[in-house]
Amino acid sequence: MEEQNKPTFRQRGIYLIPNLFTISALFAGFYAIIAAMRGHYENAAIAIFVAMLMDSLDGRVARITNTTTPFGAELDSLSDMVAFGIAPALVVYTWGFTELGKFGWLAAFVYAVAVALRLARFNTQVNKSKRYFQGLACTPAAGVLAGMIWVTQDLSLTGQWVQILIACSSIFLGVLMVSNIRFRSFKDLDLRDHVPFTIILIIVLIIVFISFAPSYILAALSILYALSGPVGTILELRKKKRERKRHLQSIKKETTGK
């Protein structure tokens, strides 16, 4: 009877595989900070791209294996703040923003605080769209800064104009992250569905293409994605303006005809 009345305690745990990817992204972001402090900016940029890869896998693995948990979501946000907020800001600051004085550290801070605001807004959104992000995600934003730093190291670009360009880019990325501009998320792609055999070949060709000049291609892809939101918004507004104009013209013709 005494054994039956004893309270039973449920052992709580976490899912290993998706959280390992998240912790790997966190480690890569932390390594980027250490590499930047030692002046190894190319390694720091590569580490941020590795963190981007790990971050893209943890959520997909969790959804595929049906192991999504509130713990994993919170851990992912904390990892994102370090890997794509603090790490890129410190990398660009130690790289060249120190020579810009107050403008340099303010530009780095604007980027870091924008990532925090972006993550806080994303975590509190009730109706999240699978197809679009509201504002630029912090992952591709970090890719833009990392890609630009990587390219400057490959081309040995120096000078205040380069520093000002990247500082202004970090501020612009911060504005995009807290904006309401829509960006394609690609989360609606179901990796469990059957795909044509040629898709595998296309993926392999893309990987081979990136391997030829990874710094330039990854930087270009990140910049193009960051610009896709504003460009798409402008095109959509123009389309709506033309449709409104046609609608007003049709109403005017009907009124004149009467």
* Nearest partner of 72 among 32, 226, 80, 191, judged by Cα: 80
222 within 8 A of 140, measured Cβ to Cβ: yes
* Domain 15-189+197-257, CATH: 1.20.120.1760
Q: Where are the domains of the chain?
A: 15-189+197-257
**Residue 1: pLDDT band by 50, 70, 90 thresholds?**
very low
Give residue-wise pLDDT tens across range 118-138. Answer: 999 988 886 777 788 899 999
Cβ–Cβ under 8 Å, residues 78 and 27? no
User: Would you state the structure tokens that stand for residue 55, as one six-digit string?
Assistant: 């971050």
Nearest of 44, 14, 13 to residue 30 by alpha carbon: 44
Question: What CA–CA distance (Å, rounded) separates 111 from 86?
Answer: 9
Mean pLDDT of the chain: 87
d(CA 149, CA 88): 10
Query: What would the two tokens of residue 254 be?
Result: 């009907």
The pLDDT of residue 9 is 40
Q: Are 149 and 95 in contact (CB under 8 A)?
A: yes
Token pair, residue 171, equals: 């501020």
pLDDT tens-digit profile of 46-61?
999 999 999 988 877 8
Q: What are the tokens at 46?
A: 């590569």
pLDDT tens track for 185-243: 877 666 566 667 677 788 888 888 888 899 999 999 999 999 999 999 999 888 888 88
pTM of the model as a whole:
0.86
Q: How far, in Å, CA of 242 to CA of 244, rounded?
A: 5
- CA 33 vs CA 36, 156, 187, 216, 234: distances in Å: 5, 21, 29, 22, 36
Distances (CA, A) of 121 to 48, 128, 202: 23, 11, 35
Task: State the Cα–Cα distance between residues 188 and 209, nearest whole angstrom.
Answer: 25
| Interval 131-166: pLDDT, tens | 888 999 999 999 999 999 999 999 988 889 999 999
DSSP state letter for 10: P
